[in-house]
Amino acid sequence: MDRKALIAMSGGVDSSVTAYLMKKEGYSCTGITMKLFSNEDANVVNERTCCSLKDSADAASVAASLGIPYYVLDFREEFNEKIIHKFIECYETGRTPNPCIDCNRYMKFGRLFAKARELGADHVATGHYARIKQDEASGRWLLKKSADKLKDQTYVLYSLTQEQLAHTVFPLGGMTKDRTREIAEEHGFVNAKKHDSQDICFVVDGDYAKFIEGYSGQTFPEGDFIDMDGNVLGRHKGLIR
């Protein structure tokens, strides 16, 4: 029976090796890059993002070397609504968002999972460092930490449902990041030595307040810290800070 899998390919080394390992396991693979935002729309001029043209080119190069189909799917509207807008709203209302958790919940294992079903794929595979195991006694699918404790990403995957866990593969869960890079170098992948993506993909310099002001067009004035008795304790640089 032909097992089909959609491979979420960001252009990084992890997802590239994931595609290689899935094909090696006998899956009929299709590489997918999720276009989540435009650098210009997100007020970003830095190429060190997950959605740059270079990233797509790297993913396409690896897919071509593996001989698998490759497509870019435009999910910018959904990402803008469910991730970026929520991110800004949280800071505006005094909460702390975690867009990586939301992205996995709504995009990679929401929108992409639905696309896999639409295309008749049995599984979605990603380059997350995590493991999935089925409990023999209960039959439930369990999300377990990866072999590489420094790279473990289970904390952003807690929202996966039983249905999603049953049809998701994390090929890198049992290896270290060093081994992942070794495999990429062994097969001549263009991104074998590419930097790891860190922090929030659409806030490339770590200055989230600057991003919020640039993206929303709003400014957030300075104000006072005041205790319950009305005493001014100090100054702050704006609500979002």
Alpha-carbon span 183 to 152, nearest angstrom? 19
201 is catalytic: yes
Alpha-carbon span 214 to 34, nearest angstrom? 24
Task: Give the global pTM.
Answer: 0.88
Q: How confident is the model at residue 57 (pLDDT cuts 50, 70, 90)?
A: very high
Are 26 and 68 in contact by the 8 Å Cβ rule? The answer is no
Single out the residue of 89, 85, 90 nearest to residue 37, CA to CA. Answer: 85
Alpha-carbon span 75 to 37, nearest angstrom? 8
The pLDDT of 72-95, averaged and rounded, is 93
All domains of the chain in start order, with CATH: 4-206 (3.40.50.620), 208-241 (no CATH)
pLDDT (0 to 100) of residue 220: 93
Active-site choice (29, 50, 51, 201): 201
The pLDDT of 90-101, averaged and rounded, is 92
The pLDDT of 144-156, averaged and rounded, is 95
Q: H-type helices in the chain, by residue range?
A: 13-24, 53-66, 76-79, 85-92, 99-103, 112-118, 162-166, 177-186, 208-216
The more confident residue out of 113 and 197 is 113
The pLDDT of 31-45, averaged and rounded, is 74
pLDDT (0 to 100) of residue 49: 52
pLDDT (0 to 100) of residue 184: 95
At position 223, the amino acid (one-letter code) is G
Active-site choice (29, 50, 51, 103): 103
Residues of the chain with pLDDT > 90, as a percent, come to: 80
Q: How confident is the model at residue 42 (pLDDT cuts 50, 70, 90)?
A: low
pLDDT of residue 48 exceeding 70, the answer is no
Q: How confident is the model at residue 51 (pLDDT cuts 50, 70, 90)?
A: low
103 is catalytic: yes
- The mean pLDDT value of the chain amounts to 91
Q: Please, what sign has the CA dihedral across residues 186, 5, 57, 210?
A: negative
